């Protein structure tokens, strides 16, 4: 099926989400990029705001979307004090289509959707979330950059599933690395469970559920063990699992690097990802600690504008380049 922006032919339902085969998501010209980081304060919003500017400077049409539902602050990092519309207008049906609430930023080719703060928005109803996902995919931009909230709620995970590229932000500290691993585990098991549901076999779903708990089920500790056991029940299940796992290729962004030692912080997680989750990182990108970030925030100005020559700005430009070259 050819996806057509105007006709909105692809209804993104749960099965499509699960398989990652929704044509709207995977074949359209819009690149949805999810900026995630399960640990709070690791730099998701700093990176999203400045990355959007960097992409627009590379001549790409970009919209930065504040999806930190209930705790939005991307506007501050972009230096936008007031916004005519917010995501609340879309969630409360005050506007019909998401493109109606895209705000101008004053930066060429860059739009912005301000976050919503109505009570309960953090627990967006499933049908509302699907409507939002459809509308995000219909935006007429080259890149739709999602600044997501901390944590590993299904709201976060589902936006990650529909994105074409994921930037998983972590700092070199152990708690952040461990949170990143747990987030990936949630993501992998959610994708597996959703995809395997299609086989309509309770034994398979029970097995996947059991494998989450490695303490009680050490024989299913490694992903290879789970895949083999699935294959013994139904060969299609192991084939499907292998396909799902091959499709999960997060890009890790190691932020706030201060030393050479920090640069290697992702080695441990890469190992865990391979062995226990059966997935590989697409790339590991580095962003250095830079006082320019704090100074720019204090002035409510984006670093890319305030200090385009800073180390942080250069690192962000590298990420933008990677996104434009990665297919
Ligand atoms: N590379 C960096 N160098 C120096 N300071 C940084 C860097 N990256 C982020 N910071 C600082 O870390 C703080 C938190 O950043 P930010 O708000 O972007 O994190 P976040 O992951 O979006 O947080 P939350 O989980 O609350 O949404 C900010 O005050 C910012 O100045
Ligand atoms: Mg944030």
Strand order in the sheet with 31-36: 103-104, 110-113, 62-67, 143-148, 31-36, 165-170, 251-257, 283-288
Q: Compute the distance from residue 46 Cα to the ligand 1 centre, in Å.
A: 6
Q: Report the C-alpha gap between 75 and 86 in whole angstroms.
A: 10
Q: Using pLDDT thresholds of 50, 70 and 90, give the confidence band for residue 144.
A: very high
Specify whether the CB–CB gap between 114 and 86 falls below 8 A: yes
Which residues surround ligand 1 with Cβ inside 6 Å?
Answer: 37, 40-46, 68, 149-150, 255-256, 287, 289-290, 293-294, 297, 312
Question: Are both 156 and 132 inside the same structural domain?
Answer: yes
Contact 280, 247 (CB under 8 A): no
| Ligand 1 probe mutation, 39, 293, 297, most atoms within 8 A of CB | 293
Cα 80 to the center of its chain, rounded Å: 23
| Residues 226, 299 share a domain | no
Confidence of residue 18 (pLDDT cuts 50, 70, 90): low
Q: How many CA atoms lie within 13 A of 314 on its CB side?
A: 6
Instruction: Name the residue at shortest CA distance from atom 29 of ligand 1.
Output: 294
Average pLDDT, the chain: 89
Ligand 1 center from residue 219 Cα (angstroms):
40
163 plus 298 within the same structural domain: yes
Q: Pick from 327, 250, 248, 247: which is nearest to 283 by CA? A: 250
Residue 197 lies in a domain: yes
326 within domain boundaries: no
Ligand 1, from 39, 40, 41: best to mutate by most atoms within 8 Å of Cβ?
41
- C-alpha 37 – ligand 2 centre gap (Å): 9
Q: 191 with 270, same domain?
A: yes
pLDDT for 47-73, tens place per residue? Answer: 999 999 999 999 999 999 999 988 999
Contacts for 244 with CB less than 8 Å, ≥ 6 apart: 19, 20, 191, 192, 195
Return the best residue to mutate from 46, 183, 253, 289 for the ligand 1 pocket (most ligand atoms within 8 A of CB).
46
Check residues 244 and 10 and name the one with the higher pLDDT: 244
Number of compact structural domains in the chain = 2
Same domain, 146 and 186: no
Query: Does 224 fall in a domain?
Result: yes
Q: Round to whole Å and give the CA distance between 225 and 213.
A: 13
Kindly give the distance from the C-alpha atom of residue 257 to the centroid of ligand 1, in angstroms, as a whole number. 13
The contacts of residue 67 (CB under 8 Å, 6+ apart) are 87, 115, 146, 147, 148, 149, 159
35 within some domain: yes
Atom of ligand 1 nearest to the CA of 150: 25
Question: Is 327 within the bounds of a domain?
Answer: no
3-state secondary structure at position 239:
helix
Does the structure show a pLDDT above 70 at 32?
yes
| Coil, helix or strand at residue 251 | strand
98 located within any domain: yes
- Domain residue limits at 308: 1-169+290-321
Whether the CB-CB separation of 242 and 235 falls below 8 Å is answered with no
- Give me ligand 1 centre to Cα 152, in Å: 18
Does the residue 138 lie in any domain? yes
178 shares its domain with 84: no
Task: Provide mean pLDDT across the span 109-118.
Answer: 93
Do residues 87 and 212 share a domain?
Answer: no
pLDDT band at 125 (very low <50, low <70, confident <90, very high): confident
- Least confident range from 3-17, 202-216, 268-282: namely 3-17
- φ and ψ of 145, to 5 deg: -100, 120
For residue 100, the domain's CATH number is 3.40.50.300
* Count of CB atoms situated within 10 Å of the CB of 120: 10
Tell whether 145 and 38 lie within a shared domain. yes
Protein residue with its CA nearest to atom 16 in ligand 1: 43
162 close to 67: Cβ distance less than 8 angstroms = no
What is the distance in A from the centroid of ligand 2 to the CA of 222? 33
- Nearest-CA residue for atom 25 of ligand 1: 40
| Same domain assignment for residues 192 and 261 | yes
Whether 155 and 23 map to the same domain: the answer is yes
Quick one: which ligand is closest to 255's CA?
Answer: 1
Same domain, 50 and 77: yes
What residues contact 307, with CB distance under 8 A and at least 6 apart? 292, 295, 296, 313
How many angstroms does the Cα of residue 165 sit away from the middle of ligand 1?
21
The Cα 102–Cα 111 span in angstroms is: 6
146 and 58, same domain (yes or no): yes
Read off the pLDDT band of 17 (50, 70, 90): low
| 243 pLDDT tier (thresholds 50, 70, 90) | very high
151 or 92: which carries more pLDDT confidence? 92
Ligand 1: which atom is nearest the Cα of residue 294?
A: 31
Please give the model's pTM, rounded to 2 decimal places. 0.90
More confident residue, 7 or 253: 253
Structure tokens at 43: 């730099």
Distances (CA, A) of 134 to 8, 164, 189: 8, 14, 24
CA of 14 to the centre of ligand 2 (A): 27
- The protein residue whose alpha carbon is closest to atom 10 in ligand 1 is 43
Nearest-atom number in ligand 1 for the CA of 257 is 1
How many angstroms separate the alpha carbon of residue 41 from the centre of ligand 1? Answer: 5
Q: Which of 296, 268, 315, 305 is nearest to 57 (CA)?
A: 305
Q: What are the φ and ψ backbone dihedral angles of 81, each rounded to 5 degrees?
A: -85, -45
**What is the mean pLDDT of the segment spanning 234-260?**
96
């Amino acid at each position: 099926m050819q996806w057509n922006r105007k006709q909105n032919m692809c209804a993104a339902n749960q099965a499509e989400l699960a398989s990652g085969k929704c044509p709207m998501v995977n074949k359209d010209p819009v690149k949805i990029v999810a900026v995630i980081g399960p640990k709070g304060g690791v730099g998701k919003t700093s990176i999203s705001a400045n990355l959007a500017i960097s992409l627009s400077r590379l001549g790409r049409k970009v919209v930065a979307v504040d999806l930190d539902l209930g705790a939005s602050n991307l506007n501050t990092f972009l230096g936008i004090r007031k916004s005519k519309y917010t995501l609340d207008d879309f969630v409360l049906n005050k506007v019909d289509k998401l493109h109606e609430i895209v705000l101008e930023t004053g930066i060429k080719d860059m739009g912005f959707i301000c976050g919503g703060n109505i009570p309960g928005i953090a627990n967006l109803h499933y049908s509302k979330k699907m409507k939002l996902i459809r509308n995000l995919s219909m935006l007429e931009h080259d890149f739709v950059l999602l600044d997501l909230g901390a944590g590993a709620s299904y709201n976060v995970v589902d936006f990650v599933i529909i994105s074409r590229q994921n930037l998983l932000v972590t700092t070199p500290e152990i708690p952040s690395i461990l949170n990143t691993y747990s987030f990936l585990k949630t993501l992998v098991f959610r994708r597996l469970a959703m995809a395997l549901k299609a086989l309509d076999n309770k034994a398979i779903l029970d097995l996947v559920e059991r494998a989450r708990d490695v303490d009680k089920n050490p024989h299913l500790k490694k992903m290879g063990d789970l895949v083999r056991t699935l294959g013994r029940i139904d060969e299609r299940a192991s084939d499907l699992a292998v396909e799902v796992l091959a499709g999960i290729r997060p890009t890790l962004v190691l932020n706030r690097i201060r030393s050479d030692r920090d640069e290697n912080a992702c080695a441990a997680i890469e190992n865990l990802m391979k062995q226990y989750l059966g997935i590989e990182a697409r790339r590991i990108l580095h962003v250095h600690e830079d006082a320019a970030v704090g100074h720019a925030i204090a002035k409510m100005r984006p670093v890319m504008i305030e200090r385009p020559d800073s180390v942080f700005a250069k690192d962000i430009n590298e990420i933008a380049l990677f996104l434009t070259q990665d297919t």
